[in-house]
A and B are shown apart, each in its own frame.
Chain A
Amino acid sequence: MIRPLTAKRLASVSGLLAALLVLVILVSLKLGAVPVSMVDLATNLGRIVIGQADHLPSEQSLIIREIRLPRILLGVIVGAALSVAGAGFQALLRNPLADPYVLGVSSGAALGAIISLVAAPRVPVAMPIAAFAGALATITAVYFLGRRGGELDSHTLLLAGIISASFLSAVIMFLMTTLSGGELRGIAFWLMGDLTSTRTPLDAGWLFLLLVLAVGAIYTTAADLNLLLTGEQEAMHLGVDVSRVKLVVYVSASLLTGLAVSISGAIGYVGLIVPHVMRLLFGSDHRMLIPASALGGAIAIVIADTLARTLVAPTELPVGAMTAMAGAPMFIYLLRRRFG
C-alpha cells in the first residue's frame, strides 16, 4: 500500500499528530496527585499564553506551572529527539534495528555526561556538550568497527554497537563504584531514565532551539535518505552527495541523543519503536517519517511519564521502565496486524 506523498497529506498527518500531542499534554496536565479542575487548568494556561504572572500563586497554579508543565515539555523534547535520532540512524545504516541504545550511542552520551559531572560539576553547560561529544565519538567508532571490506555490514554493525554499549556500560559501572561524589548518587536513577530533574542543563528555550535545528538539519536530507535506502552506490549514481548526507545525519542524530540523555538519562525503546510505528502507519518516506517521528516520540514520552507518575502515586516509577513495558507489546501488535 504505497500512497504518494503530497503536501496535503503531509500537512494533514502532521496536523493530526500535533492535535493528538496537545490533547495528551492537556490530559497529562490534569492528572496527578493533586486534583486540578478544568476551570483552573484553562485559567492557568490562558495566563501563561498571555504572559501574565501570578503574584501570589495558588497551590494548583504552582503545581501546573512549576511541576507538571516543565516536566511535560522536557518529555516532549526528549521524545522527539530520541525518535528522530532513531529514524536517522535506521535510514543511514539501512538497518531497522538501529537505535541510539542498540548502537551504544546513548551509553556514550551517558558516559560523557557522567565524566562532565565528575570533572566539572559546577558548569551546567558542560554536561550536554560532553554528552554530545560522547555520542558522536561512539557512533564514529561503531561505524568504523561495523565496516567489513569497505562496506557497512549490517550484522557486524549491530555487534559493534552492542559490544560498544556493554563496554561503555562497564566503564560507567567502574566510575560509579570507585567515585563517590555527591552528584553521583543521583546517577543510578538518572541511568534508569528520569524526567523529574528540576535542574535542566540549559534553559528549556535553548533546548527547543537545539532540537528544532537538529531535526531541521536531518529533514533537509529526507529526500536523499529515501534514495540511500536502495544502497550507497545506487544513491551516489542518482546524484546524492552521500558523504555530506552521512555527516549531517550522524552529527545531528548524535546531537539529539546527547540532548535527550543530558536531560533524562537513558530512556530506551522510544528511538526504536516510534519510527517503526510511524513507518507502519504512514509509510517510509522520510519527508513524512521525520516530522511524524518527532511528534509521535513526544506523544509516547508524555504518555509514559504521565503513567510513571500516576500509576502508583505518590510513589513514582522510572519513565524508562514505562517506555519499555508499553512500547514492546504495542510494537508486536502493530507488526502482527500488518502481516497477520
Chain B
Amino acid sequence: MREAHSIPPVRWSVRCILVAATMLGSVWAQQTSPAPAPPQPAPAKIDIIDEAGRHLTVPANVRRIVSLAPNLTETIYALGAQDRLVGVTDFCDFPPEAKQKTKVGGGVNPSVEQIVALKPDLVLAAKSMNRKETVEALEQLGIPVYGTAPVTVEDVIQSVRRIGEAIGAREAGDSLSASLRARLDALKEKLAARTPRRALFVVWVDPLITIGRQTFLADALRLAGAESVVDLPQEWPRIGLEEVVKLQPEYLIFADSHSDGADLASARARELAERPGWRGLDAVRERRIAVISDAVNRPAPRLIDAIEQLARLLHPDAFVEKTADAKEKTQSRLTPANADAMPAAYPPVSGFPFPLPAGGGI
C-alpha cells in the first residue's frame, strides 16, 4: 500500500540516490522505493456512501478503527487491517486475538465515551446489531460511522469489498471478495443438478424461532442447496411446533459454537427425540440433523465456510468424486490454523439472532 506522507529528512541521501535511479529508468527502484514522488499528498479525505445510503467523509488514510459488531471485527482481521483496529465489542471473540483489544461494551449498548476516548477516525456499525441512537451520537461528535446492512450473501461479499475501500485497503477487499465469490461459484457448479433440501433452520428451540425470507441466512441456505420450509416476512419469526410437524422438513439445521460434525448432531438428535412433539418430526426420527459452525450467524467472510460446510452435510454425494486430497484442503479451510487456540465454548453472540424488545436500526 502506498504511503502518501512526506519522507523523513534523515533519508536525504537515500532519496537522492533513489531519485537518480528513477531518472535512469531503473524498474527495481520504483518497486522498492517508498513513494519516490515529489511531496504531493493524496486527498486527505474521501467521500463515501455506506450501505444504508448515508454519506460520510473519512480520512483517506484511516489509522484508528472501532468495530461495533463481531462480524465487522472478523472482517477487519480478514482484510489484514487488525493493527489499525483499536476498539471492539464485548462479543468480538473471533479470531481469539480480537479479545485482547480494548472493549467498548456491547453492540446494543456500547459506551460512546469509551469510543470517543479511543479517537477513532472510522467506526464500523451493523444495522442488525447496533442502534440508530449510537450512530447518531457518534456522528454528532464528528466521528464518521460506516453502516453495513447485508440482506443477501452477495451483500455480505459486497460489504467486505466496501469496508476494504472505506478503510483504505481496497486491494485486500477486492481480492478477498473475489476469492469468496469464486468459492461460491464453485459450490454452485457442484450443486447445479441437486434438488434443494427442504430444511428448517432452528435459531432457538424454546420457544421455536426460525429465519424469515429476508435474511442473509435464508440466502445462505439457498446457496448451500437447501430451502427453508418457513417462508415468512418477519426476520426471526416465532412459529408453532405444530406447523413444523405439518411441514415435515427433510433436515433440521442448527448453528453451534463448537461444531464438530457427527457427534454434536447425534447429541442434538437424542435431546430432541426426548422432547414431546419434536420426536414426531421425521428429521429427528431419522437423525437428519445438520449442525454447522455458528459462523453462519455472522455476515463476515467465514459465512462462506459455513455455507460450504452445510452443502457438504446436505449433499455429501455431490462431493464424493473429489479425492481425499481435496477434502483435506477444504477441511483445513474450515478449521483455521489456530484451531487449538479457539475457545472451547464461545459466549453466545448477543443481539443476534434474537429479537430483543429494544431494537432499532441505522
Identify the A interface with B (CB < 8 A).
32-34, 57, 59, 62-63, 66-68, 70, 177, 180, 182, 185-186, 188-189, 194, 196-199, 309, 313-316
Give chain B interface residues in 240-289, CB to chain A under 8 Å: 240-243, 245-246, 275-280
User: Given A59-B245, A188-B354, A198-B276 in contact, is the A32-B206 Cβ separation under 8 Å?
Assistant: no
User: Given A33-B242, A66-B277, A67-B277 in contact, is the A196-B234 Cβ separation under 8 Å?
Assistant: no
By beta carbon, the residue of chain B nearest A188 is B356
Decide yes or no whether B36 CB sits under 8 A from chain A.
no
Does the CB pair A315–B232 fall under 8 Å?
A: yes
User: Given A185-B354, A189-B207, A198-B276 in contact, is the A313-B348 Cβ separation under 8 Å?
Assistant: no
User: Given A32-B240, A180-B350, A315-B232 in contact, is the A67-B246 Cβ separation under 8 Å?
Assistant: no
Name the A residues within 8 Å of B106 (CB-CB): 177
Name the A residues within 8 Å of B243 (CB-CB): 33-34, 313-314
Give chain B interface residues in 195-221, CB to chain A under 8 Å: 204, 206-208
A197 to B91, CA, bound (A): 28
Does the CB pair B245–A62 fall under 8 Å?
A: yes
Does the CB pair B276–A67 fall under 8 Å?
A: yes
Does the CB pair B240–A313 fall under 8 Å?
A: yes
Does the CB pair A62–B240 fall under 8 Å?
A: no
Q: Could you tell me the dominant secondary structure of chain B's interface residues?
A: loop
User: Given A316-B239, A316-B240 in contact, is the A199-B275 Cβ separation under 8 Å?
Assistant: yes
Name the A residues within 8 Å of B110 (CB-CB): none
A256 to B270, CA, bound (A): 34
Does the CB pair A34–B245 fall under 8 Å?
A: yes
Top 3 nearest A-B pairs (CB, nearest first) are A314-B243, A62-B280, A66-B276
A225 to B256, CA, bound (A): 55
Decide yes or no whether B181 CB sits under 8 A from chain A.
no
Name the A residues within 8 Å of B246 (CB-CB): 33-34, 59
Does the CB pair B240–A314 fall under 8 Å?
A: yes
Decide yes or no whether B237 CB sits under 8 A from chain A.
yes
Number of contacts between A and B (CB, 8 Å)? 86
By beta carbon, the residue of chain A nearest B257 is A182
A83 to B281, CA, bound (A): 36
Min CB gap A91→B, angstroms:
35
Which of A66, A185, A188 has a CB less than 8 Å from the CB of B348? A185
Name the B residues within 8 Å of A313 (CB-CB): 240, 243
Identify the B interface with A (CB < 8 A).
91, 106, 109, 204, 206-208, 230, 232, 234, 237-243, 245-246, 275-280, 347-348, 350, 354, 356-357
Min CB gap A252→B, angstroms:
29
Centre residue among B230, B237, B279, B280 by max chain A CB count within 10 A: B280
Min CB gap B135→A, angstroms:
20
A57 to B276, CA, bound (A): 12
Does the CB pair A57–B280 fall under 8 Å?
A: yes
Centre residue among A70, A188, A198 by max chain B CB count within 10 A: A198
A66 to B280, CA, bound (A): 9
A68 to B277, CA, bound (A): 9
Name the B residues within 8 Å of A66 (CB-CB): 276-277, 279-280
Min CB gap B267→A, angstroms:
15
Does the CB pair A309–B240 fall under 8 Å?
A: yes
A180 to B90, CA, bound (A): 11
Q: List 24 A-B contacts (CB under 8 A).
A: A32-B240, A34-B242, A57-B280, A62-B277, A62-B280, A177-B106, A180-B91, A185-B204, A185-B354, A186-B207, A188-B354, A189-B238, A194-B207, A196-B206, A196-B207, A196-B241, A197-B207, A198-B275, A198-B277, A309-B240, A309-B242, A313-B240, A313-B243, A315-B232
Does the CB pair A177–B238 fall under 8 Å?
A: no
A66 to B244, CA, bound (A): 13
Name the A residues within 8 Å of B280 (CB-CB): 57, 59, 62-63, 66
A182 to B204, CA, bound (A): 10
Does the CB pair A180–B348 fall under 8 Å?
A: yes
A193 to B37, CA, bound (A): 68
Does the CB pair B242–A68 fall under 8 Å?
A: yes
Name the A residues within 8 Å of B208 (CB-CB): 196
Does the CB pair B109–A198 fall under 8 Å?
A: no
Supply 17 further A-B pairs (C-beta < 8 A) apart from A67-B241, A313-B243. Answer: A32-B242, A33-B240, A34-B245, A57-B280, A62-B245, A62-B280, A67-B245, A180-B91, A182-B348, A185-B348, A188-B356, A188-B357, A196-B241, A309-B242, A314-B243, A315-B238, A316-B207
Min CB gap A79→B, angstroms:
19
Name the B residues within 8 Å of A32 (CB-CB): 240, 242
A198 to B206, CA, bound (A): 7
Min CB gap B12→A, angstroms:
57
Name the A residues within 8 Å of B238 (CB-CB): 189, 315-316
Name the A residues within 8 Å of B109 (CB-CB): 177
A23 to B243, CA, bound (A): 24
Does the CB pair B232–A70 fall under 8 Å?
A: no
A316 to B237, CA, bound (A): 8
By beta carbon, the residue of chain A nearest B233 is A315
Name the B residues within 8 Å of A315 (CB-CB): 232, 234, 237-239
Name the A residues within 8 Å of B241 (CB-CB): 67, 196, 198
Name the A residues within 8 Å of B204 (CB-CB): 185-186
A196 to B204, CA, bound (A): 12
A189 to B234, CA, bound (A): 16
Which of B91, B206, B242 has a CB less than 8 Å from the CB of A199? B206
